[in-house]
């Protein structure tokens, strides 16, 4: 670990492989996964983020991945009706609906697309948030979300290291059968599960860290790796100014810091350079100038359209559909004003 006068720095491992624009990347796990995944999506990387919604524990993530491997189709008997909505215990509430058929359509269409995505993905990033799981007492089924059903209906259990390792040893073998070239990167969310209490949160995180370490040692670093997002927050960002108002979730500044570390370590140099150009175009499309009916603004619009054409010609996988629509609309408007 590097140490300065006022801060400690976590050494990021030198990975033997990196991802980038040429690969499909799937993210599964806690909301920290969405922080990094959404950043990559904004930069036009080919990503699939949480096809079951936010999942916090290893059992739920493993269950989701097995559903994708099996191409499972959900039916009415796989849903539960509670609080005016149809829910799946395998999914986050974003897949719930007051209409049963609508819920099934949301769930099954996403499973189909994500199953195909996983089969062709180059990287799978998994973020564990907690070792605590909940089981629905009526069926014994581990649930990904309790959907505001009363707590008395569930049994709360903390996983141990061996349970996680045994489950993922089998799961990783299944994944390699359908996608032998896939790389798996584990992370542990730095967001504390404060409802568990300070002590239980730490024990939970310790279980996750030990389980991941054992899995990587067994699988080998040609297949699995660990990115130290948890350690970066705990050691480099040991200050409440890096947290949101609830003092639990991390701030945008902290997310940006982790992103920079992640990008430098996990993304190839060419993709980083492309991302810098993509970001300028995306920012330009979000810019709201005060005066649009000027020659300077028209020239700016033309420059952006030319840059998009150049980027799409060179990098076929980039999709600037939204930005092209925006710049075309703006150009048409200014043309009408000037005409």
The pTM score is: 0.92
> Residue 156: which residues within 8 A CB-CB, separation 6 or more?
132, 133, 134
**DSSP letters spanning 47-107:** EEE-BTB---SHHHHHHHHHHHHHT----GGGEEEETTEEEETTS-GGG-BSSHHHHHHHH
Predicted pLDDT of residue 339: 43
* Average pLDDT along the chain, 339 residues, taken 10 residues at a time: 72 93 96 90 96 97 98 97 97 97 98 98 97 96 96 96 98 97 96 86 96 96 94 88 82 92 96 96 83 79 90 89 86 58
**DSSP letters spanning 295-324:** HHHHHHHHHHHHHHHHHHHH-TT---HHHH
Predicted pLDDT of residue 53: 96
Q: Are the C-beta atoms of residues 229 and 190 closer than 8 Å to each other?
A: yes
Phi/psi region, residue 44 (left: phi>0; alpha: psi -120 to 50; beta: rest), is left
Question: Between the CA atoms of 225, 230, 231 and 237, what dihedral angle is there, to the nearest 10 degrees?
Answer: 140
**Phi and psi at residue 291, in whole multiples of 5°?**
-115, 115
Predicted pLDDT of residue 334: 62
**Cα separation, 48 vs 37, whole angstroms:** 8
């Amino acid at each position: 670990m590097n140490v300065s006068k006022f801060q400690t720095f976590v050494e990021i491992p030198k990975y033997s492989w990196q991802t980038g624009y040429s690969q499909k990347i799937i993210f599964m796990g806690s909301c920290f996964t969405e922080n990094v995944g959404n950043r990559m999506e904004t930069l036009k990387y080919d990503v699939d983020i949480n096809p079951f919604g936010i999942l916090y524990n290893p059992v739920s993530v493993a269950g989701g991945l097995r559903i994708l491997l099996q191409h499972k189709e959900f039916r009415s008997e796989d849903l539960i009706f509670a609080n005016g909505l149809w829910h799946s215990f395998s999914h986050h509430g974003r897949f719930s609906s007051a209409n049963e058929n609508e819920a099934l359509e949301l769930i099954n269409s996403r499973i189909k697309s994500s199953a195909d995505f996983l089969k062709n993905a180059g990287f799978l990033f998994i973020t564990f948030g907690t070792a605590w799981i909940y089981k629905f007492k009526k069926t014994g089924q581990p649930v990904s979300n309790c959907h505001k059903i009363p707590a008395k209906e569930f049994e709360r259990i903390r996983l141990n290291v061996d349970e996680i390792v045994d489950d993922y040893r089998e799961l990783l073998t299944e994944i390699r059968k359908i996608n032998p070239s896939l790389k798996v990167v584990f992370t542990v969310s730095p967001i504390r599960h404060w409802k568990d209490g300070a002590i239980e949160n730490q024990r939970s995180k310790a279980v996750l860290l030990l389980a991941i370490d054992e899995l990587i040692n067994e699988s080998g670093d040609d297949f699995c790796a660990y990115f130290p997002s948890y350690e970066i927050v705990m050691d480099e960002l040991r200050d409440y100014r890096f947290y949101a108002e609830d003092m639990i979730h991390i701030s945008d500044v902290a997310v940006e810091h982790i992103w920079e570390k992640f990008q430098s370590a996990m993304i190839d140099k060419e993709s980083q350079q492309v991302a810098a150009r993509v970001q300028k175009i995306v920012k330009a499309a979000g810019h709201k100038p005060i005066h649009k009916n000027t020659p300077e603004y028209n020239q700016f619009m033309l420059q952006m359209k030319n840059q998009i054409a150049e980027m799409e010609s060179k990098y076929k996988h980039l999709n600037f559909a939204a930005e092209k629509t925006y710049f075309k609309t703006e150009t048409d408007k200014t043309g009408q004003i000037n005409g």
